[in-house]
């Protein structure tokens, strides 16, 4: 497959998509486990699920699964069944792995600054793997694309507004130092995506 008559683009094989899906979800699950242990938040639906855990005691894995459910139908209509199916599988795997990672991994000591940097790194790298194999991680992305296509609201601005809203709620829940570290972690995560997930930087397709 050629783009603009130039470079040949090699498609991902099914085994490559499957491996990226599993490894990417494992990395995100470990990242969110570190977030929960250090009492930090992140943007998107994962951030909403973490806040639910801190405020109500609902475990991340369960909250993350439930809050994504309403968005699948919307995504099916607007983005196609293949994308939504991959997203559903990814969300389900992150939820499943998060459920067991807390039992697989124990922290005798966890420095909060280190946790913020490493959680952002793990989640950012895991999400990058998923994005490069045309897989999303939840309802905010689906809703952002829907609003952009139907109402002209820029998807990036909408996702930024959601992340700011999550941080605003977190201000009422987290200690000030944890809020600052959450911003640091979000910066690390988004830098990984901004630097590595750009048109022309990576040409593999599924």
Q: Which residues of 64-86 are buried (b: 16+ CB within 10 A; e: fewer)?
A: bbebbeebbeebbeebeeebbeb
pLDDT greater at residue 70 or residue 177: 177
Mean pLDDT, residues 184-202: 76
Mean pLDDT, residues 140-161: 74
Name the pLDDT band for 13 (thresholds 50, 70, 90). low
pLDDT of residue 79: 67
Q: Residue 37 CB: number of other CB atoms within 10 A?
A: 16
pLDDT of residue 36: 95
Percentage of the chain modeled with pLDDT above 90 = 45
Name the pLDDT band for 144 (thresholds 50, 70, 90). confident
pLDDT of residue 95: 94
Mean pLDDT, residues 121-134: 87
* Rounded Cα distance, 137 and 77, in Å: 17
pLDDT at residue 147 is higher than 50: yes
Give the CA angle between residues 96, 64, 24 to the nearest 5°: 55
Helix, strand, coil percentages for the chain (3-state, nearest 5): 75, 0, 25
Name the pLDDT band for 8 (thresholds 50, 70, 90). low
pLDDT of residue 84: 81
pLDDT of residue 199: 53
The Cα-based distances of 205 to 2, 11, 33, 83, 176 in angstroms read 11, 5, 30, 13, 42
Q: Which long-range contacts (CB under 8 A, 24 or more apart) does 151-158 make?
A: none
Mean pLDDT, residues 47-57: 94
pLDDT at residue 3 is higher than 50: no
pLDDT greater at residue 142 or residue 1: 142
* Rounded Cα distance, 100 and 68, in Å: 20
pLDDT of residue 12: 65
pTM above 0.75, yes or no: yes
Structure tokens at 36: 């929960």
pLDDT at residue 22 is higher than 90: yes
């Amino acid at each position: 497959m050629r783009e603009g008559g130039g470079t040949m683009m090699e498609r991902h094989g099914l085994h490559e998509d499957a491996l990226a899906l599993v490894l990417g979800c494992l990395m995100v699950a470990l990242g969110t486990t570190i977030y929960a242990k250090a009492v930090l938040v992140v943007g998107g639906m994962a951030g909403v699920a973490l806040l639910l855990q801190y405020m109500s005691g609902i475990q991340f894995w369960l909250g993350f699964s439930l809050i994504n459910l309403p968005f699948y139908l919307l995504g099916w209509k607007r983005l196609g069944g293949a994308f939504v199916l991959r997203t559903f599988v990814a969300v389900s795997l992150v939820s499943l792995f998060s459920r067991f990672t807390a039992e697989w991994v124990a922290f005798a000591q966890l420095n909060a600054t280190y946790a913020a940097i490493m959680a952002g790194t793990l989640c950012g790298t895991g999400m990058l793997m998923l994005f490069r194999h045309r897989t999303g991680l939840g309802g905010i992305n689906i809703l952002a694309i829907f609003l952009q296509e139907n109402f002209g609201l820029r998807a990036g601005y909408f996702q930024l507004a959601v992340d700011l809203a999550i941080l605003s709620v977190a201000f009422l829940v987290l200690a000030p130092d944890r809020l600052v570290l959450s911003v640091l972690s979000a910066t690390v995560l988004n830098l990984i995506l901004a630097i590595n997930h750009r048109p022309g930087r990576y040409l593999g397709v599924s």
